[in-house]
Structure 1
Amino acid sequence: MKKNLLDVSGSSLLPTRIVRIRELEYLIGRKRSTIYLLMNRKSRYFDPSFPKRIRLSSSMNGGIGWFEHEIIGWLHGKAAERDNSISG
C-alpha cells in the first residue's frame, strides 16, 4: 500500500494526515466556533499563524481539513511563545 507523502522541509518526506474538525477540536482544546474565529480575519481572535484549512472536495459545501503536521507545528509555536514569556 502506497502512503501519501508531502515534502515539508525540502529534504525529508513525512506521511500526510488530514485532520477533520472534530479531531482538531480535540487536538487544540477549542470548539468549532472558536476555531472559525481563529481563521476569520475580521475577528478579534484572528490568529494569522493558525494553519490554513484545505478543501477536500470541489463543492463549496464539501468537507475541509487541516494537515496534522501543521497543527502540531502551531501547537509547538504556542508552547515556545509561552516559554519565552515566562523566561523573559
Structure 2
Amino acid sequence: MYLLPGLIVLHALEVRDLQLSFVVAYGLSSRRTKKMESVVAPRLIRRQELEYRTGFRRSTIYAAIKSGGKRFDPDFPQPVRTGKGTVAWLEEEVDAWIKARVDERNSISR
C-alpha cells in the first residue's frame, strides 16, 4: 500500500480478490487533526501476479520489456524498482495494457 508522508492512516482496506485498495487518511496539523479527502493509492504487483494476470511466464515478460528484442512490446508496462534487486508493476498500467489487448481483439473481430 502506498502512503503519503505526513499522514496518519485511520482506516485501510485491501481486498486482494477484488483488487481494491482504499485508504482513509487524515493530515497532521499542529493545532488539530483535520480530515483530508480519501486517497486511493496506486497498487504495485509483483511478477508472480503479473504472470497470473497476463498468462506470460518470466522469460516472456522480460523479453517484452527489453528493447531491441524480437518479442519487445513498447506498450507493455515497464517495471518500477522497489528495492535492491526487486521490481514490481503498477496495477493500473497492467490493467490498461490488458484492456488495450481486449479492445484490439474486439475491433478486429467486427
Say yes or no: TM over 0.5: yes
Q: TM-score, normalised by structure 2?
A: 0.63
Which one has the bigger strand percentage?
A: 2
Is the partner of 1:25 in helix, strand or coil? helix
Q: 1:5-58 CA distances to partner (integer Å, 9 max, x unpaired)? A: xxxxxxxx643111000110001111000000110112111110011110002x
Tell me, which stretches of 5 or more residues in structure 2 are unaligned? 1-8, 11-22, 24-38
Name segments (4+ residues, structure 1) moved above 4 Å: none
The correspondence of residues 64-75 of structure 1 with structure 2, limited to 5 A, is: 64-75=87-98
2:56 and 2:42 map into 1 onto residues whose CA distance is 23
| TM-align CA RMSD | 1.4
Larger relative CO (CA 8 A, sep 6+): 1 or 2? 1
Q: TM-score, normalised by structure 1?
A: 0.78
The correspondence of residues 1-40 of structure 1 with structure 2, limited to 5 A, is: 1=9, 3=23, 14-40=40-66
Q: Which amino acid aligns with 1:75?
A: I
Which one has the bigger helix percentage?
A: 1
Task: Give aligned pairs, total.
Answer: 75
